[in-house]
Amino acid sequence: MITSQVFQPGMGGIQTLKAFTIVILGGMGSIWGPALGGILVGIIEAIAILFIPATYKPMIGFVILLAVLLIRPSGLFGRREIT
């Protein structure tokens, strides 16, 4: 049986926001930062679902991002720019 997929402009919004969060979390200009950020967000989301309802899963990445940016504004592996 062949099924067809319909693509719409609004598809993938949550995935795009999660990717943006992971890149900012890891630090711009670093390859290993977003890789570690993605692993970190994935593990923390998987563990957090044991304690909070699954409907809050998209919010967990933003909470992690806010916590890391409060401690280290350039991200995990970001470099500070001297101006």
Q: Is residue 13 part of a domain?
A: no
In a domain, 25, yes or no: no
For 18-45, write each residue's pLDDT tens digit.
888 888 888 887 788 889 889 988 999 8
70 inside domain: yes
pTM of the model: 0.74
Distances (CA, A) of 2 to 9, 13, 33: 23, 27, 41
In the predicted structure, residue 54 carries a pLDDT above the cut 80 = yes
CA-closest candidate to residue 28, choices 62, 69, 57: 69
Domain with 50, as residue range(s), is 30-76
Domain total in the chain: 1
- Cα–Cα distance for residue pair 79/83, rounded to 1 Å: 13
Does some domain include residue 19?
Answer: no
